[in-house]
Chain A
Amino acid sequence: MADDVIDADELDPGFKYEISKQPGGENLKLCFQCGTCSGTCPVRAINDKYNPRRIIRMALLGMRKEVLCSDFIWLCSTCYACHERCPQNVRIPELMFAIRNIALREGNIHPVYKGYVDALDGHGRLLEVGEFENEKRVKYGLPPIAEEKERVRKIFHHTRIKDRTDGKLKGGEACATEGSK
């Protein structure tokens, strides 16, 4: 995709508006491609695949499928360094969440995130807290932590995120044939 010619007929001019309507995606259109984010990004520094400026450019151009069905959108580590330096207040980390939310509905979810969802579903938190941890906490005068699975599951129930990651709920068809690339 990267070196291919972009066919203007294939572009979806509505994609930028679709993202702008998502929470976190509102400022997408303010980007003027100065490159401060990509110069800043620590992920970009070690991994050519991830380039926030490029993702925004692709989104602005309307490369809907290429963006939504990619795996690079899952690489943002949300360190917010770009956010600190962006002169246009594009709010890039939040923008990435907005794009990921659409991607999820289109059937693209990265295996790592599936792992996160399973962990949350199983323990109510990303890191499992067992007896060992709680004994240590009590020793240091901290209250023990109980797993609050039910509250998380309530959220899952409403958002149906687990159904999506488990493939029970089919979303849009954009990434259906190719799946996660």
Chain B
Amino acid sequence: MSESKEDAAVKATRPAEGATGAPRIGVYVCHCGLNIAGSVDCHAVAEHAKTLPNVVIASDNRYTCSEPGQEQIKKEIKEHKLTRVVVASCTPRLHEPTFRTACKDAGLNPYLFEMANLREHCSWVHLHDRGAATEKAKDLVAMAVARAALLEPQEEAEVPVIRRALVIGGGVAGIQASLDLAQAGYKVFLVEKDPSIGGKMAQIDKTFPTMDCSICILAPKMAEAGRHPNITLLAYSDVADVKGYIGNFKVTVKKHPRYVTKDCTACGDCAKVCPVVVPNEFDIGLASRRAIYSPFAQAVPSTYVVDIRNCLGMNICRRCVEKCERKAIDFDMAEETLELDVGTIIVATGVDAFDPTALKDYAYGVYPNVITSLEFERLINAGGPSGGRLVRPSDMAIPKEVAFIQCVGSRKRVNEKGHPYCSNICCMNTIKDALLIKEHWPETKITVYYMDIRAFGKGFEDLYNRAKEHGVKFIRGIPAEIEQDNTTMDLVIRSEDTDSGKMLVRSYGMVVLSIGIEPRQDNEVVQKLLTLSRTSDGFFLEAHPKLRPVDAPTPGIFLCGCAEGPKDIKDSVTQASAAAARANILMAQGKVRVEALTPVIIDELCKKCGACAKVCPYHAIEFDKEKKEVPGVITAACAGCGTCGAECAFGAISMRHFSDETLNAEIDAITAEDACRKTVAFCCNWCSYAGADFAGVSRMQYPPNIRIIRTMCSGRVAEKMVLRAFQRGAGAVLVAGCHLQDCHYINANYQTLKRVERLWKKLEQKGIRKERLQLAWISAAEGERFASKVKEMARIVDTVTKEECDKTAQLLSKEKKEG
């Protein structure tokens, strides 16, 4: 048998068109009540559809998505042996799944279904010009029919999902996610950078709004995570490398040597004899520790650790080794490298606290009695360096007046002063701290300098009111500066009470800077390891801000806790459980279907240049420069953006479902008549197409001479497609995608930018006006922006004469021949 297995498979999935070869297309034009029929003559559109090639049957009905509407499609697929179905109704973003299912039910491969968007992109945006809207609708149906004829059946690939998870970060979010998954029966690897899990929550004294003791509620969870049979706790470890894709990640973890073995009973005898004294990180330097130490009393694992950078070393000092009865100290310990196979990854890497040293006006680090809110937590904590006595650093006295300054490092547009976002937790943290002082020393006078108190959560307003009832004074006005009285070491704050307009000069024994939180310094490393995206603020970007809030854009990876954005403990825990549940869904199924939008590399055409692998945002194309073999596609890792297909100069990549042929067919259909008066627009599915939908939903009226071709990503738009539109006489071309930072495919739209810039240069060289090709970044929320861009395109088309279009076509086709 000469026929390869693959060919046989393809043939087997082809529908029963084999006999005649020509596709048999059924077209259904939906009135959508009056939503479409109000401004489009649907019957005329259906009649026009009958004249289009390959169309066997066409009709219009009131609601195609209704039960009878779907039944009609199913019936006619069988009766008329339809091999393609086109529904001209609303946006495919709404009902494509509905109709795909109907096709599938009738035995037609769902990828042989196509939609024309007559509602959002036509009837709703041309409410007052029935003639033009109907003509445009005919065009849109013709485009869909042309594309449908070339669609091919696709089978969705299924990949297995390894039933083990990796959780990065052992703060409260990471602990919660690990416990949830472990209790659901999955093996979990919990990797923590520091010697102990616990994160920021372990450092906090009490939690708002309930005033629970933070470590009291956290420690049991830490201990459970430490001993759970399904959790492998890898503390003092770093994730060094992540390879693979959803369901099948290969993770390399480097475990740093603790120089103390598991035999350690945490008796602490070693630390007592250690001669090295260094600042204790856990107490933010307010107390000291030895070079062999346990980070804090409730640390998990409780095993001590040697701070090798500060240790004097075996040759000079062996005191700890000699003192340890269990012989648990081992200086021969080396770094371990572990290779883990996991199916899902949860990122719970947390945040850093803002460092206010740069804010000279507040003189943190210069005046001893100016402290941060995190330092306050350690000072007020019974287990902290002062045993819970709120002493001020200059003289260990308990201050009689304490001021809190809000928004330190938050809500600052000026870079060196902090971050533009609200840190979310500082208002309530300060209110809680103020009440803690009042609880211990009721006579203390407390002033909070703020600009807005954001007490938005459950029980928050109550706590705010309680603080006011306890006499905590809230002054609306951010202090300009802090001065120190060098004899008393008291601090003088100058500010304006913006409510009364009065200038205030007041003296305090201690000033607490309510510092914000910021993305971790090593977020960039994590981002690169896992191919994540970040917002302009530096936090990790979710797949969808509303509907997929814990999914990372990379399949199989989930986000929780402050890594995703500033949030309090409750929200972190909620998100952690959500992330665990999302990971659980994948692992419970044990397999995942991948939408059939992936590339197929055609061996005979491939020149083995590797350009496709270079532009893939997901590293889903494997190419070995040395071996010079045809690159391999990791289907499960591919998200289907198609930027590889656009990059390939040899036509060796065929994108499934969005092939060059289908997209070209749409271009050709648009430019078949009156091309010079039209704009050919390429819009990405996630942002610009959705933005066009939004313009429709908002009934924004714009000129009817735009024709939209949907691609998954603007990165799919190849230079030759734009040139093809011009060759065929298009008046103007618009390429639209997500804003550069917000690409649904990590950064594929940077390729779009490069390609359009190259095209501009090319057009200029040829003497073609480059403004006829426009590039726009339009988000799903920017209907207005889309509408105004369409108007701009119409103005451009108005300046283009038929002669100019013909000349352009000539110039470009000449090049084609030369080329």
A81 to chain B, nearest CB (A): 8
Bound CA–CA A33/B497 (angstroms): 11
**Residue A65 at the chain B interface, CB threshold 8 Å:** no
**Residue B498 at the chain A interface, CB threshold 8 Å:** yes
On whether the beta carbons of B494 and A34 are closer than 8 Å, the reply is no
A50 to chain B, nearest CB (A): 11
Bound CA–CA A87/B407 (angstroms): 10
Instruction: Knowing A39-B478, A39-B503, A54-B501 are in contact, say whether A34-B413 is a contact too (CB < 8 A).
Output: no
Bound CA–CA A76/B414 (angstroms): 22
Interface string of B471-513 (1 = CB under 8 A from A): 0000011111100000000000011111001010000000000
On whether the beta carbons of A39 and B414 are closer than 8 Å, the reply is no
Instruction: Knowing A38-B498, A39-B479, A39-B494 are in contact, say whether A33-B451 is a contact too (CB < 8 A).
Output: yes
Bound CA–CA A51/B498 (angstroms): 10
On whether the beta carbons of B411 and A85 are closer than 8 Å, the reply is no
Contact among A33, A54, A86 with B414 in the assembled complex (CB-CB below 8 Å)? A86
Interface string of A5-30 (1 = CB under 8 A from B): 00000000000000000000000001
Taking CB atoms, residues of chain B closer than 8 Å to A53 are 496, 498
On whether the beta carbons of B478 and A34 are closer than 8 Å, the reply is yes
**Residue B319 at the chain A interface, CB threshold 8 Å:** no
On whether the beta carbons of A39 and B413 are closer than 8 Å, the reply is no
> Could you tell me the dominant secondary structure of chain A's interface residues?
helix
Residue of B nearest to A88 (CB): B413
Bound CA–CA A34/B476 (angstroms): 7
On whether the beta carbons of A39 and B495 are closer than 8 Å, the reply is yes
> Could you tell me the dominant secondary structure of chain B's interface residues?
loop
**Residue B593 at the chain A interface, CB threshold 8 Å:** no
On whether the beta carbons of B498 and A33 are closer than 8 Å, the reply is yes
CB-CB contacts below 8 Å: A23-65 with B? 30, 32-40, 44-45, 51, 53-54
A2 to chain B, nearest CB (A): 8
Instruction: Knowing A34-B407, A39-B477 are in contact, say whether A87-B503 is a contact too (CB < 8 A).
Output: no
Taking CB atoms, residues of chain B closer than 8 Å to A44 are 496, 503
Taking CB atoms, residues of chain B closer than 8 Å to A33 are 451, 498
Bound CA–CA A38/B259 (angstroms): 57
Taking CB atoms, residues of chain B closer than 8 Å to A38 are 477, 480, 496, 498, 503
Taking CB atoms, residues of chain A closer than 8 Å to B501 are 51, 54
Bound CA–CA A35/B412 (angstroms): 13
Instruction: Knowing A45-B503, A85-B361 are in contact, say whether A35-B495 is a contact too (CB < 8 A).
Output: yes
On whether the beta carbons of B418 and A87 are closer than 8 Å, the reply is yes
CB-CB contacts below 8 Å: B48-89 with A? none
Taking CB atoms, residues of chain B closer than 8 Å to A86 are 414
**Residue B417 at the chain A interface, CB threshold 8 Å:** yes
Instruction: Knowing A87-B413, A89-B413, A89-B414 are in contact, say whether A34-B361 is a contact too (CB < 8 A).
Output: no
Bound CA–CA A53/B452 (angstroms): 16
Bound CA–CA A33/B496 (angstroms): 11
Taking CB atoms, residues of chain A closer than 8 Å to B497 are 35
Instruction: Knowing A33-B451, A34-B451, A36-B478 are in contact, say whether A87-B498 is a contact too (CB < 8 A).
Output: no
Taking CB atoms, residues of chain B closer than 8 Å to A36 are 478-480
Bound CA–CA A35/B478 (angstroms): 6
On whether the beta carbons of A35 and B417 are closer than 8 Å, the reply is no
Taking CB atoms, residues of chain A closer than 8 Å to B417 are 87
Bound CA–CA A37/B477 (angstroms): 10
Residue of B nearest to A33 (CB): B498
Bound CA–CA A87/B414 (angstroms): 6
Bound CA–CA A30/B414 (angstroms): 12
Instruction: Knowing A34-B451, A45-B503, A85-B361 are in contact, say whether A39-B480 is a contact too (CB < 8 A).
Output: yes
Interface string of A82-124 (1 = CB under 8 A from B): 0001111100000000000000000000000000000000000
Taking CB atoms, residues of chain B closer than 8 Å to A34 are 407, 451, 477-478, 498
On whether the beta carbons of A85 and B480 are closer than 8 Å, the reply is yes
B224 to chain A, nearest CB (A): 43
Taking CB atoms, residues of chain B closer than 8 Å to A51 are 496, 501
On whether the beta carbons of B418 and A35 are closer than 8 Å, the reply is no
B426 to chain A, nearest CB (A): 14
A127 to chain B, nearest CB (A): 32
On whether the beta carbons of B411 and A35 are closer than 8 Å, the reply is no
A100 to chain B, nearest CB (A): 22
Interface string of B454-476 (1 = CB under 8 A from A): 00000000000000000000001
Bound CA–CA A115/B480 (angstroms): 34
A52 to chain B, nearest CB (A): 10
Bound CA–CA A36/B497 (angstroms): 10
Taking CB atoms, residues of chain A closer than 8 Å to B481 are 39-40, 85
Interface string of B397-412 (1 = CB under 8 A from A): 0000000000100011
On whether the beta carbons of B451 and A88 are closer than 8 Å, the reply is no
Taking CB atoms, residues of chain B closer than 8 Å to A37 are 480
Bound CA–CA A75/B407 (angstroms): 30
Bound CA–CA A5/B495 (angstroms): 26
On whether the beta carbons of B477 and A35 are closer than 8 Å, the reply is yes
Taking CB atoms, residues of chain A closer than 8 Å to B476 are 35
B305 to chain A, nearest CB (A): 40
Most chain B CB atoms below 10 A, which of A35, A38, A87: A35
Taking CB atoms, residues of chain A closer than 8 Å to B477 are 34-35, 38-39
Instruction: Knowing A35-B495, A35-B496, A39-B495 are in contact, say whether A88-B414 is a contact too (CB < 8 A).
Output: yes
Contact among B361, B413, B498 with A35 in the assembled complex (CB-CB below 8 Å)? B498
A168 to chain B, nearest CB (A): 39
Taking CB atoms, residues of chain B closer than 8 Å to A87 are 407, 411-414, 417-418, 478
Bound CA–CA A40/B480 (angstroms): 5
Bound CA–CA A9/B497 (angstroms): 28
Bound CA–CA A44/B498 (angstroms): 13
Most chain B CB atoms below 10 A, which of A33, A38, A86: A38
A47 to chain B, nearest CB (A): 11
Residue of A nearest to B412 (CB): A87
Residue of A nearest to B479 (CB): A39
Taking CB atoms, residues of chain A closer than 8 Å to B361 are 85
Interface string of B601-613 (1 = CB under 8 A from A): 0000000000000
CB-CB contacts below 8 Å: B590-606 with A? none
Taking CB atoms, residues of chain B closer than 8 Å to A39 are 477-481, 494-496, 503
Taking CB atoms, residues of chain A closer than 8 Å to B494 are 39-40
Taking CB atoms, residues of chain B closer than 8 Å to A45 are 503
Residue of B nearest to A87 (CB): B412
Bound CA–CA A51/B478 (angstroms): 15
Residue of B nearest to A51 (CB): B501
B207 to chain A, nearest CB (A): 28
Bound CA–CA A40/B418 (angstroms): 19
Bound CA–CA A158/B246 (angstroms): 69
B192 to chain A, nearest CB (A): 35
B376 to chain A, nearest CB (A): 22
Bound CA–CA A51/B500 (angstroms): 12
Residue of A nearest to B475 (CB): A35
B386 to chain A, nearest CB (A): 31
Taking CB atoms, residues of chain B closer than 8 Å to A40 are 480-481, 494
CB-CB contacts below 8 Å: B491-537 with A? 494-498, 501, 503
Instruction: Knowing A39-B495, A54-B501, A85-B480 are in contact, say whether A32-B451 is a contact too (CB < 8 A).
Output: yes
Bound CA–CA A45/B496 (angstroms): 10
Bound CA–CA A86/B451 (angstroms): 13
Residue of A nearest to B411 (CB): A87
B408 to chain A, nearest CB (A): 10
- The 3 A-B residue pairs whose C-beta atoms are closest, nearest first, are A39-B480, A35-B477, A40-B480
Show the binding face of B for A, using Cβ within 8 Å: 361, 407, 411-414, 417-418, 451-452, 476-481, 494-498, 501, 503
Q: List 16 A-B contacts (CB under 8 A).
A: A32-B411, A33-B451, A35-B476, A35-B477, A35-B478, A38-B477, A39-B478, A39-B479, A40-B480, A44-B496, A44-B503, A51-B501, A53-B496, A87-B413, A87-B418, A87-B478
Show the binding face of A for B, using Cβ within 8 Å: 30, 32-40, 44-45, 51, 53-54, 85-89
Q: A34-B407, A39-B479 are in contact. List 12 more A-B contacts (CB 8 A).
A: A32-B452, A35-B476, A35-B495, A37-B480, A38-B480, A39-B478, A39-B496, A40-B494, A85-B480, A87-B412, A87-B417, A89-B414
